[in-house]
Chains A and B, each alone.
Chain A
Amino acid sequence: MPLFERLYNFAHWLTQDREEAEDLVQETYAKALKGFASFQPGTNFRAWIYQILRNTFLTSRTGLKSASVSLDEENGQQNLPVANATPETILLQRSDQQLVQEALGRLAVPYREVLLLCEFEEMSYQEIATTLAIPIGTVMSRLSRARRALRDAVQQMQKN
């Protein structure tokens, strides 16, 4: 089964629950198998199967809840303040893995998924755009906001 571990990891990140993740992966493979005729050779298989997984997630109970989160980004401006990085803040950013994992888990699903697809799956902006069915411009602005949100979350957790 291609991409099994990675799909499971992604599903678990989305659902934040082992059982739900297993259901999601199982359903994704069943749908992929059934819809394999609709897959056009030469197009991106990875984006296709992640798209199935994500669409399946969005119609699940947890997914429907996550979709209600407003991101206010499509009409928002891209002018994020420049972070004043100092060697001290860099040291703060080298936080332990558990902290980043917790912060990732707290992010809104749209931010979490775009970060995972970009950083972990190392998808190109085009692949992410295909998977999430959004324009490349939105991929870039969402990524930018997601990174900022993650950084804020890590800092907040460090303060506490």
Chain B
Amino acid sequence: MHYTFKWSVLWTGESGRWLVQGLLTTLELSALAWVLAVALGILAGALRTVRFSPLRWAATSYVEFFRNVPLLVWMFFWYFGVPPLLPRAVQDWLFNHGAEFWAGMLALGVYHGARISEVIRSGILAIPRTQFEAAVAMGLTTFQAYRLIIIPVALRLIVPPATNESLSLLKNSSVALTISVAELTFQTRQIETYTAKAIEAYTAGTLIYLVLCLSIATIMGRVERRFAIPGLIARGGPAG
């Protein structure tokens, strides 16, 4: 092994600033994509459980198509494929205003929206049909039954899988480096390119991801216990 460590490359020169910027971009990208994904996920997840078949069919095809194609392909699709279809002026405006960031955000949000909708759908299906029937019998409209009964209970049931999905979104935001969004993995590579110290650079990037993921998982573990529905068998425990 012929490698001399020089950890100081991480805080001398531009490296420190790059890492912080990369981390902030990763967080910003993930947060915006997460909001989009949750909105789409709730919409599609709920629509897939309604009776009216055209809506159900539209939601199902969105979910099945978007979640079964690699995220990387969606990144290229939104960044390279869609802009040429737009009017020239819109294209120019987009490419002057960080098109790669918005394309990355759309790709992440739409892809994970399809996956989150599966989580939400399984949460809704886990609620007995009788709850819905009782709500309607009490005089609630379908919309009210969903808003007041089904969705609040489903949300509490899906905290653990939704946490998994959110962490997966955060980690997948690294794929945005392929369309040159300057997020954490991108900046890590930049440090590696400038300093030729691969181990140091990748250790820093990896540790930041690890700390991020583990702290989110810990916080969500608390949330899960706080909002657990009393009377249900504890989730996550060893079965059998």
The judgment on whether A and B are partners is no
A residues touching B (Cβ–Cβ < 8 Å)?
none
Residues of chain B at the chain A interface (Cβ within 8 Å): none
